[in-house]
Structure 1
Amino acid sequence: MYDYDLLVVGSANADLVIGVERRPAAGETVLGSDLTVHPGGKGANQAVAAARLGARTVLLARVGDDAYGRLLLDSQRAAGVDTVGVLVGGAPTGVALITVDPSGDNSIVVSPGANGRLMPEDVRAAGSLFQASRVVSAQLEIPLETVVEVVRNLADGSRFVLNPSPPRPLPREVLAACDPLIVNEHEARVLIGSGAGPEPEDWARDLLAMGPSSVVITLGEQGALVAQRAGARVRVPSVRVEAVDTTGAGDSFTAALAWRLGRGESLAEAAAYAARVGAVAVTRHGAQESFPTAEEVAALCCAFPGDNPRTPGRKSGSEGLPGEPSRGEFQ
């Protein structure tokens, strides 16, 4: 019997956001709005999203012994995440410095801070969490060598889910453990390189050839493509909603998919559920503040019986920003 449905190993950032009339050019100073601070980071976002849905979730991350670290710990605990794996100290909490203009376009500078100090030895020291977790999810806002150590500490029978964001070349050892590898179009092209074909089916074939047991490619308003090494390619439709803010939608998608896989659903079923979770998230402002409960996801399904909806806005992630209300897609 597993103690946790999901162990998330990843980043925890404080997002510092300022609205500006226009982003400054080199050497220029512009006035902005009051500063707002939000809990973020892809790892922290995924943990909160899963816990809101009802998953027994634990987070392995590192924050500083400072006000931002306390903010992040409070947000995790408020969502029901077990923070026994969150390490404190070693560096200031990671921050994302974000300016956003009236169109919703943003500029972001990230200081990894404590995220860059989550080391392989921290993973080894948390071995009991790996043994107690049905599914393990990771991203690439922590050192790559730490992600490699995550793979080496997976328990027999557990499942590894990776969203390689920000994308970079991955060791074959990591790729071979992915079931699934979750990417958007940009991430797929970075991993494949200059030989990437024109169609998602081409990307899925090339990514599977790199070692993963399965791949999920999110395709915006076209939904997602699910591909398994020993199985057919399946298109998963998206959900039609009025998107107001795509921040964190991709993180909520990954968290929901990982949780549902742990419940025994097929990859296509889990991806379809994850699309509905992302659809609810983009109808609200913020990242962690927007993540729905399972009851709210069920209500969306009732609101769109038999619909073939479209999910949300622009590329989302822990450092995303509020955009103008629109119909769009998340990736």
Structure 2
Amino acid sequence: MDVVGFGALNYDRLYNVEKIAAPGEEVAVKEAWESPGGSAANTIFGLARLGFKTGFIGCVGDDNFGRVILDNFSGEGVDISSIKISGGKTGTAISLIDKSGERTLYVYSGANDELSAGDVSLDYVTDAKFLHLTSMVNEKQFELQKQLVEKIEGVKVSFAPGEFYAEKGLDNLKPIIERSYVMFLNRREIEMLTGRDYSEGSREFIDAGVEVVAVTLGKDGCFVSSEKDSYLVNAERRNVVDATGAGDAFACGFLSGLLTSKPLHECGKLGNAAAGGCIEKFGARAGLQDKLKG
């Protein structure tokens, strides 16, 4: 196994609107879209599309949304043997995307909250080269992730905290950060966690033991760094339709570079390429590609 993901499994409902409504205001929906989602899930789906062997740890409900999520994974070749099916409702996420491509997100965690330690096989994780972690709403699953990274030897941890985990603060995330090989953040998240800009903030994570830090900078590309090197990698201009899942796609492209032993700068280019394809389509997965050109 190349990469195992561990994060939320949600069914996404996306609504394209002229603008985000103010309190009491009524705004028409121009277009609606539904798709399986979840941050780590999107990254794992993208890696499978690129031909890597992937699996996932998570939980869905025994309902139509859960079945769609599982079928979507299976259709792309993702191993679903470690995904629990519970009696609860599958998690859902509602995204409102305005004409500039920016979004507002509402999340119902649902069955994601029912994942417990007994549902996670250490053998399944230790068979992988990377464990890719992203945020989950419930504190129990956050604690489970922290416990898991302490138990796995020889597996590189990839961590994309997102804004939800960034709000927990640096001290609460340290058990995962100190075990991480690579971290993925955007400009806002790294400033939230360190109080510094992306360059100085990246150095703080490197000093904490993280081998590689990749910070996405929107239209400006990304800043990638390690102990020895750092690069500002420019992105090609793209027609932004929807920014949903751009960071997840970036992580997919970047990890594909790490898995094939590409240089740091090339990993950044692959991340930019994957994110660029993503934002040109509506939804987090429609623009994911089966080949990337760095």
1:16-165 aligned at under 5 Å gives the runs 16-20=13-17, 23-26=20-23, 32=29, 36-102=33-99, 104-123=101-120, 126-141=121-136, 143-156=141-154, 158-165=155-162
User: Counterpart of 1:293 in 2: which secondary structure?
Assistant: coil
Task: Tell me: CA distance 1:272–1:79, structure 2 relative to 1, closer, same or farther (3 Å).
Answer: same
1:239 maps to 236
204, 207, 213: which one pairs with 1:206?
204
Conserved in 2, the CA contact under 8 Å of 1:90 and 1:117? no
User: Counterpart of 1:162 in 2: which secondary structure?
Assistant: strand
Aligned-residue Cα RMSD (Å) equals 2.3
Please give the alpha-carbon distance, in whole angstroms, between the structure 1 residues aligned to 2:266 and 2:29.
44
Number of residue pairs matched by the alignment: 286
1:91-123 superposed Cα distances (whole Å, 9 cap, x missing partner) = 211111233455545432211112222233323
User: Counterpart of 1:201 in 2: which secondary structure?
Assistant: helix
1:178 maps to 180
Amino acid at match of 1:137: H
279, 283, 289: which one pairs with 1:292?
289
Task: Tell me: CA distance 1:131–1:206, structure 2 relative to 1, closer, same or farther (3 Å).
Answer: closer
User: What is the percent sequence identity of the aligned residues?
Assistant: 26
Amino acid at match of 2:40: G
Task: Tell me: CA distance 1:101–1:293, structure 2 relative to 1, closer, same or farther (3 Å).
Answer: same
TM-score, normalised to structure 2, is 0.87
TM-score, normalised to structure 1, is 0.78
Conserved in 2, the CA contact under 8 Å of 1:130 and 1:155? no
1:195-254 superposed Cα distances (whole Å, 9 cap, x missing partner) = x23x432122223234423311122233222222x3122222322333333221210111
Please give the alpha-carbon distance, in whole angstroms, between the structure 1 residues aligned to 2:198 and 2:272.
17
User: Counterpart of 1:108 in 2: which secondary structure?
Assistant: strand
Conserved in 2, the CA contact under 8 Å of 1:130 and 1:153? no
Please give the alpha-carbon distance, in whole angstroms, between the structure 1 residues aligned to 2:183 and 2:54.
20
217, 224, 230: which one pairs with 1:226?
224
1:267-320 superposed Cα distances (whole Å, 9 cap, x missing partner) = 3332222222222222222211211011xx24xx6xxxxxxxxxxxxxxxxxxx
Q: Where does structure 2 lack aligned partners over 5 or more consecutive residues?
A: none
User: Counterpart of 1:186 in 2: which secondary structure?
Assistant: helix
Task: Tell me: CA distance 1:23–1:219, structure 2 relative to 1, closer, same or farther (3 Å).
Answer: closer
Conserved in 2, the CA contact under 8 Å of 1:77 and 1:83? yes
